[in-house]
Structure 1
Amino acid sequence: MKHPGRTPPFRGPDGEPMPDSIAEIRYLRLGGIDQWVMMRGEHITNPPLVFLHGGPGFTETSLFRHFNAPLEKIFTVVCWDQRGAGKSFDPTIPRSSMNVEQFISDLDELVEAVRTRTGQDRVALFGHSWGSALGVLYSARFPEKVSAYVGSGQIGDWQEGEKLSYSFALAEAQRQGNRKAERALQAIGPPPHDSRSLMTERTWLQRLEGHLGIRSMWEMGRVLLGGPEASVFDLPAIVRGFRFSLDAMWREVSCLNLIARAPVLKMPVFFFLGRNDHWVPPETSMAYFESLAAPSKKLVWFEESGHEPFVDEPEKFNAAMAELVRPVTV
């Protein structure tokens, strides 16, 4: 049974819903299957911002809603649980449909729906981790529909990033004298990894870092399942969707090299990078940034952040979106 959740309206001083605001949740038919979409903004004339979560298959909608709600004052924020993820998970989804081309097509149908709903010609895209690869590939193919591109945990040469992530984890295990971690990492060997070995590497990396970004795992779980848009009933779909998506897509996505696939973007580009990101090492993001041709590009470092600057330093992230990104989307 699907639990779409609910999202509260924006209310004025009189307690009545604000005119021209938008606060809605619905399932859209994208690529032949129902996919969960939430749109929120204080005024529908604000530029649309589509959030592309990571994974593949790891919905971050609740995190973005919790930490980045101030953006709803200046954007119409669109959160989408991608095919196979979160509230869009369905065990009948064909595994064969879980490929990059299908996701680009799904995103294009979503963008068309957002353009129609808001009456705007273009959308801004914010892509995180896997979502940053999807966002770049979409922006390169449909530049006329994208006003600005923002990437965090930005993929460049994905294989190179995995090599650096594994090397860091192994070196950190040795530095800390953690023999159990060292043996586990040596057992899977260096990349390329399958999805199971990847999870081994990421699990040990997280433990060796001693945190999940700046936030504790407990707090992350509370946020993911808190708020009116989410429910504890979502947990099975979140877990199953992540495993299904990662297993189905890892072989393809982990071979992506955006330096070769998307050397040019025709809109303003922003990279918001966590200085302490060991999941997508910023050296690989920087290599892509330096090679990328774009009308303008801006790099912002988040010194206290790991893989999720929008969670680890939300005030700085929201301010950068307001001061740097919104002006170029109007």
Structure 2
Amino acid sequence: MSLVRLCALALLALPLSAVAAPPDDDAYAEARGIVDDLQRIVAPTGVQETHTVRIGGIDQVITVRGMDRANPILLYVHGGPAAPMMPASWTFQKPWEDYFTVVQWDQRAAGRTLRANDADAVAPTIAIDRYVGDAIELIDWLRTTYGKRKVILVGHSWGSVIGMRVLAEKPEWLHAYVGIGQIIHPWSDETIGYTHALDAARSEGNATAVGELEALAPYPGADLRGGRIDAQRKWVIHYGGHSAYRDNSDYYFRAQRLSPDYTPEDRRAIAAGSTLTLDRILGQWRSVDFRGLQRVQAPVVMLLGRHDYTTPSRPVADWIAAVDAPFKHTTWFEHSAHFAPIEEPGRTLMTLVQRVRPLAVAAGDGAALVD
């Protein structure tokens, strides 16, 4: 199987080194312990919990972390559909925890959730509607368990498809929806990313890239399965459309080795989840189209990577400019592509604290900040 294919839909490219621990993986054990101690929440007002929650008929794993239980809950819905952010969240999340109670969720067939279930039993349930149902069930569980009326929902990449559906179907449970690497219409995104990569390859005189990309024409065509999306992603990534100014995203995958939340076995499960979910979701990809969603009932904030050609930002900017919402805001990240929280962590934090948290505070969820 193509290595890019393992997370192509998420719109992540997953090299083998990221999912198969090296023979000396125990060499990372001490480093994981150090990170674990640094990340430990010791404030008496805080929360640091791992739960296995029965959602959608299967066990699903979440972590809940924050310095003050009174803060708003922020649920991070990762990409993939089986590329959990939990094992890389230590790279950026700790400052968020001063202002939010942050929930990382390994979705159906992703990482630790995959390991908690029978993969053969989960396989027939891989459907966009089921993931949306899972998210709604999880939000309800969080509201009940932590005594909150609403949550902040962050959707990243594939997770933004789930997030937009929840925004449309359960806005009354959201203080705000935040999109990162937002998807509005996949077929438009694929065309923009393809054109970017082909133009860059021609400009550079990269005959190999030009030949491989031209062989896909017309792209995206009727179906992204059969390796077509893999070939496009290969060159989008190479030309900085996944991580700005880089020709790979190895830094993100290598960071997972130091996660105190993930064992080497958990990391190996990421590849298995991608294999299980990718073609099943791609087969339903034509149904995703938010261009007709012209009015929403909850605030919307979009974090747009200027260099993102994995899920291009221009269609998102056009959508949010036109949508009718009780509140809307766009922040452009000039030095980011698909990973704003990692590529520009300070700007991400400031946007969440200055633009998103006040929406929850105004609704009575958390205290206003004071100097």
CA distance, structure 2, for counterparts of residue 155 and residue 188 of structure 1:
22
Out of 38, 42, 45, the residue aligned to residue 20 of structure 1 is: 45
TM-score (norm 1): 0.91
Partner in structure 2 of residue 289 of structure 1: 320
8 Å Cα contact 2:243-2:339 kept in structure 1: no
- The alignment partner of 2:183 has SS state of coil
Partner in structure 2 of residue 305 of structure 1: 336
8 Å Cα contact 2:160-2:181 kept in structure 1: yes
- Encode CA deviations 1:237-265: one digit per residue, 9 max, x unaligned: 111112222111012135411122x3222
- Encode CA deviations 1:178-219: one digit per residue, 9 max, x unaligned: 111122222233103226211221122212339734576332
Out of 134, 144, 152, the residue aligned to residue 116 of structure 1 is: 144
- Encode CA deviations 1:53-100: one digit per residue, 9 max, x unaligned: 112221122333321221111111001011011212252243331111
Alignment of 1:130-141 (within 5 A): 130-141=158-169
CA distance, structure 2, for counterparts of residue 144 and residue 209 of structure 1:
38
Partner in structure 2 of residue 15 of structure 1: none
8 Å Cα contact 1:259-1:292 kept in structure 2: no
Partner in structure 1 of residue 156 of structure 2: 128
CA distance, structure 2, for counterparts of residue 50 and residue 198 of structure 1:
29
- The alignment partner of 1:27 has SS state of strand
CA distance, structure 2, for counterparts of residue 22 and residue 290 of structure 1:
37
Aligned AA for 1:191?
A: P
Structure 1 residue 198 corresponds to structure 2 residue 229: yes
Out of 28, 39, 43, the residue aligned to residue 64 of structure 2 is: 39
CA distance, structure 2, for counterparts of residue 307 and residue 138 of structure 1:
22
* Percent of residue pairs identical: 31
- The alignment partner of 1:317 has SS state of helix
CA distance, structure 2, for counterparts of residue 247 and residue 326 of structure 1:
37
Question: Does the C-alpha gap of structure 1 residues 113 and 136 become closer, same or farther in structure 2, counting only changes over 3 Å?
Answer: same
Partner in structure 2 of residue 171 of structure 1: 199
TM-score (norm 2): 0.81
CA distance, structure 2, for counterparts of residue 44 and residue 263 of structure 1:
35
- Encode CA deviations 1:130-153: one digit per residue, 9 max, x unaligned: 111211110110111111111111
CA distance, structure 2, for counterparts of residue 158 and residue 283 of structure 1:
13
Cα deviation for residue 287 of structure 1 reads: 2.1
**Structure 1: runs of 5 or more not aligned:** 12-17
Q: How many residues align?
A: 319
Partner in structure 1 of residue 127 of structure 2: 99
CA distance, structure 2, for counterparts of residue 324 and residue 37 of structure 1:
26
Moved more, 156-165 or 83-92: 83-92
Partner in structure 2 of residue 278 of structure 1: 309
Structure 1 residue 247 corresponds to structure 2 residue 279: yes
Considering only aligned residues, what root-mean-square deviation do their CA atoms show, in Å?
Answer: 2.0
8 Å Cα contact 2:107-2:113 kept in structure 1: yes
Cα deviation for residue 276 of structure 1 reads: 0.6
**Structure 2: runs of 5 or more not aligned:** 1-31, 362-371
Partner in structure 1 of residue 76 of structure 2: 51
CA distance, structure 2, for counterparts of residue 170 and residue 326 of structure 1:
40
CA distance, structure 2, for counterparts of residue 209 and residue 324 of structure 1:
28
8 Å Cα contact 2:197-2:239 kept in structure 1: yes
